[in-house]
Structure formats: C-alpha cells, structure tokens
Amino acid sequence: MELLKQRIIKDGIIKKDNVLKVDSFLNHQMDIKLFAEIGKEFKRLFSDCQINKILTIEASGIGIACIVAQYFDVPVVFAKKTQTKNIDGDVFTAKVESFTHSKTYDIIVSKKFLCADDKVLIIDDFLANGCALLGLSKLVKDSSAELVGAGIVIEKGFQQGGELVRSSGVRVESLAIIDSMDENNGIVFRN
C-alpha cells in the first residue's frame, strides 16, 4: 500500500533494537483518515471472503480494527491482556510473549464472543516475531471458528513471524513489509 509506505518513510523513526516508532500516526496518535484507507485496502484484499467478525488485541490494534470493521460491516472483538473483574471465567486463552514489554502475558477472549460458526479476520498493527498473531490464531482455533486470515499493517519481514504464521497455514496480508531498516540507510520495503 503505497500511501502507507510513504507515510512510514516520512514519519517513521528507526530506533535501536529494530524498533520502528510510528507513534505519530499508528499506535499512540492515530491518523483516522489513514485508517480509512487501510480499511478500504483490507476490504479489497479479503473481498473474496465471508467474514462476520474481526478479532484484534489491545491496545494498538483496536483503533485500526474498528475503522476496518466499517468496511466489512461486522463487529470487533478485542483480546484482553489480563484477567479483569469484568471477564467471566469462561474464556479462551493463550500465552503471548511481548517484545515491546519484555514479558509474557495471557490473552483472553470470552467464549461468548467466538463461536464455531464465526468466520474471523484478525487485524493488528504489527507483525514481528509472530507471538501475538499465533496467540490470536490459537484463540480462534480453540473456539472452532474459521480463521479466514490476518490483515497486518506493518510486517517486519526480517523477523520470523510472517514465515512462522504463513507456514502454519494462515493467510497473512501485510500492507507494508519491511525487509530491512537501518538508521543510516533507511527503510527497504519488499516489492
């Protein structure tokens, strides 16, 4: 998605440890007009699919997923990262390792909101080591719902997540795949 790639080049900041800061438009401040273009693109890519639910994970996936959902006319469910008082005991759960926060946590979705007849599209902002996406995929599998695919805004193609998830049989569509990034040489996208 050219508009997205241009925006990453313009406003993305490459930090050490392969961190790409896109917090001015994607995951702290959020450019809702860009999200609408992202929504249209995911609708185009998954136009051949029957989808009745979008699944994402808190926090930064939620905004994108909600705007994307408008183009599919479906509700969004977001996986929560800790068990709160407001969640019933009856949940699907998976363990996810967070690179950003250097810890492992449980993600949960209430069993009320993932059913065997659901056709689920996962939406998330980043795909790097693949842990979050594999965790979300497990929740869908455990619910016996059909996982139609995953729509990712930015994939770090130099990390193993994309390969790992695709080789597990999940269709992954990433709007921008970064093959390399470097403070001196900038960002190289996959064609």
CB 25 within 8 A of CB 128: no
Q: Which of 5, 14, 18, 74 binds its own copies (CB under 8 A)?
A: 74
Contacts (CB under 8 A) with its own copies, residues 103-162: 109-110, 112-113
CB 174 within 8 A of CB 127: yes
Candidate ranges 62-70, 130-138, 142-150, 168-176; the one touching its own copies (CB under 8 A): 62-70
Residue labelled with tokens 């729509």: 151
Q: Which of 52, 70, 93, 180 binds its own copies (CB under 8 A)?
A: 70
For 21-42, b where at least 16 C-beta lie within 10 A, e where not — what string?
ebeebbbeebbeebbebbbebb
Candidate ranges 43-51, 74-82, 169-177, 178-186; the one touching its own copies (CB under 8 A): 74-82
Q: How far apart are CA 14 and CA 99, in angstroms?
A: 16
Q: How far apart are CA 156 and CA 8, in angstroms?
A: 13
Q: Nearer to its own copies by C-beta: 22 or 147? A: 22
Size of the site for its own copies (CB under 8 A): 43
The verdict on 28 binding its own copies (CB under 8 A) reads: yes
The verdict on 101 binding its own copies (CB under 8 A) reads: yes
Among 191, 182, 186, CA closest to 16? 182
Beta bridge partners of residue 181, listed in sequence order: 187
The verdict on 3 binding its own copies (CB under 8 A) reads: no
Q: Does the CA dihedral 63-1-126-28 come out positive or negative?
A: negative
The verdict on 46 binding its own copies (CB under 8 A) reads: no
The verdict on 9 binding its own copies (CB under 8 A) reads: no
Query: Which residues of this chain interact with its own copies, rule CB under 8 A?
Result: 17, 19, 21, 23-25, 27-33, 35-36, 58-59, 62-63, 65-67, 69-70, 73-78, 80, 82, 84-87, 100-102, 109-110, 112-113
